[in-house]
Structure 1
């Protein structure tokens, strides 16, 4: 199918309605229509497994489902069964439900490196709670974030460091400092420069690159030496790297860690977990000043916690993490071979752990290009592949992967034409896709 033949009249109308009523036209900036080629941002009707349909009845193989949250595929039977069972019993009460302790027991059995857990709804809830807890425990004001990682929270301590810092006092932003991933020397210099001021080091333990040998272990040593709290943001690595996250895979135990995304397979649930002596500071059984850690009306909705338990059980019993890696390896090998065969192997680059693949689109000078990304996305959409990334779900079949590789090969053929012309503009049919973080709309 040619891109111009992809009919999206209803989606275009719905996008106008979305922008008229919802700032940004979506509830997550990464889902905005500016992240897609002009007039080619489908509005979804429903999904099943690894497939979604838009309101124009176009059918797509989907990757990066729900910003990596739907790792078992849409409407997973085991998860839905658990959710329906709890919804019929009520979802929120004046006192804790027995489901809350069952979910905590299930989580801590899955992530045995943690001793206590508290649930919330969003990743930002728990990363900010981790930062507050670290500041309270250490009595220190500064937060050290890994500057190479793209996102930690919608809250001021992080967003103030991005190009979208409007509305955030500089006094808040000045308390956040950055260290580079993989560089222990630079991190120690930072901790020495702000001696006794840094409350915590917060980072994703791994992203599109594996941690250098000894790096996470070295951070553990630095945190202990300088008296700060080590926080692993496991929003993405949780479950996808191993059932126990990156900390379970690499054998390095943080003081605190945060989970979400895959934890609920699309249902809203996140978790702050960690050492008992730290976590209990947000509780009632300690002699010190109380920390207002997390207090959320909907954090313990029983159906979301039931979803999380079903997800964790499915991961363990069906070895889902291994399935994700197998599927990702097949996809990565196929797309790399297709790109190489079309002469663009140095320009369409698949990166990352097999369970969490992304792709880079490079121009004729091998520099990242939003224009070439636009071209590539257009051709994928034309072939029925919705792929802001190549992050897989376990619902994908080998047939889905093979179809995706075929479509990627067709996209690479067009990519080569644009490279030969040294100008992708004729193939864009509109403005390029835009970075999610930028100062001006």
Structure 2
């Protein structure tokens, strides 16, 4: 359905109804397991009958097939950090599409993209591109296993997602199909606790191939923590891997490693790298990365070999993104917008007496929110109430992760929608029952064993 991009926000004019989206969601479930190609985009993540199907987006706004316009947060699961259809990215993609996108030999664009990436992330010495984060993180794990001769993987159990592959999925409630023998090779350590990690490495002495974690999420690393992990990995002979899918570009152009000054052996990037185009990267020390090549005398590692990993238009998009970030100070803008939003949301929540229940967390460039019940426990029911009211106010916000396309007016509108949602939240708390405001089943966690 085509909708004029200048259409005023129609969501917020009263009770929101999405008949066309509802019909398309039914068609999706008939054709696509889960109704979406990423579980986090499923309609079970939204209030019942209020999961908009998107027609198109521009900047920080998206339109659904029913004609409603929303201010969007968490765009493309944090991937569209410059806003939809950014002109410099679109032009870079269009230019390469006219020249052909995939060849039987490497394109000159592959050289240029690698040089650009390694100049942007100077802590890495070599890079290999792929299409998604899972392939990159799994390649990093495989490389660590090959380099150390060890089978066991230690991942940070406090971080929500690393890969669709068995070494990680076996640790989640959705472990069906993962052999127990594979699952037993993955162990977990808590974020921020060096003593517990050292105990783990001592317990599995000479068995752990790598430590893999997000260097930061909704909490900043404790002072000395990342440096301490670096020392532990060196002392126990394992590979330190930073999953920078989210922190890459949002923390700094060079990722969290560039901001905190701790260099991992390997790191993985994606999401913001392509502003919505499919591109990810595995980067790291030459000594390790070269094992995936053939200019060495050791046993070769089948590192990454994907038909579409070096599509020229996606690499061109990545180069354009990096140029825009550096030239326009995008990371600083993301932090400024996030600071304004966080302050406004906290003020609105406090004004409605729910500051202890609607809680904004995280770095300003990567804000999330928690919805807590009367006892301060995370609540899917209260999350449902909150999301419903935001949608009715013209705000699509599974998180409060900002894009640089947002304006101050967008932030102000969002804060007003939050205030209205918090007023209803207060009523539900006073009634000690959010059910009357849900109008359907509550939203559900992505990782659940059944249903």
Q: TM-score range by the shorter chain?
A: over 0.9
- SS of the aligned residue for 2:127 comes to strand
Contact (CA 8 Å) 1:3, 1:378: kept in 2 or not? no
Question: 2:146 aligns to what?
Answer: 136
Whether 1:354 and 2:364 are equivalent positions in the alignment is: yes
Match runs of 1:35-434 below 5 Å: 35-434=45-444
- SS of the aligned residue for 1:293 comes to coil
- SS of the aligned residue for 2:345 comes to helix
Question: 2:8 aligns to what?
Answer: none
Structure 2 residue runs of 5 or longer lacking an equivalent are 1-10
Deviation at 1:6, TM superposition (A): 1.1
CA distance in 1, matches of 2:170, 2:58: 38
Deviation at 1:7, TM superposition (A): 2.3
Question: 2:5 aligns to what?
Answer: none
- SS of the aligned residue for 1:246 comes to helix
CA distance in 2, matches of 1:296, 1:284: 17
Deviation at 1:284, TM superposition (A): 1.0
Contact (CA 8 Å) 2:335, 2:364: kept in 1 or not? yes
CA distance in 2, matches of 1:81, 1:434: 39
CA distance in 1, matches of 2:130, 2:193: 32
Contact (CA 8 Å) 2:12, 2:391: kept in 1 or not? no
- SS of the aligned residue for 2:24 comes to helix
Q: 1:123 to 1:3 in 2, by over 3 A?
A: farther
Contact (CA 8 Å) 1:360, 1:368: kept in 2 or not? yes
Q: 1:24 to 1:61 in 2, by over 3 A?
A: same
Runs of 4+ in 1 over 6 A off after TM superposition: 1-4
With normalisation by structure 2, the TM-score equals: 0.97
Deviation at 1:291, TM superposition (A): 0.3
CA distance in 2, matches of 1:400, 1:225: 49
With normalisation by structure 1, the TM-score equals: 0.99
CA distance in 1, matches of 2:337, 2:142: 39
Deviation at 1:5, TM superposition (A): 2.3
- SS of the aligned residue for 1:5 comes to coil
CA distance in 2, matches of 1:12, 1:3: 19
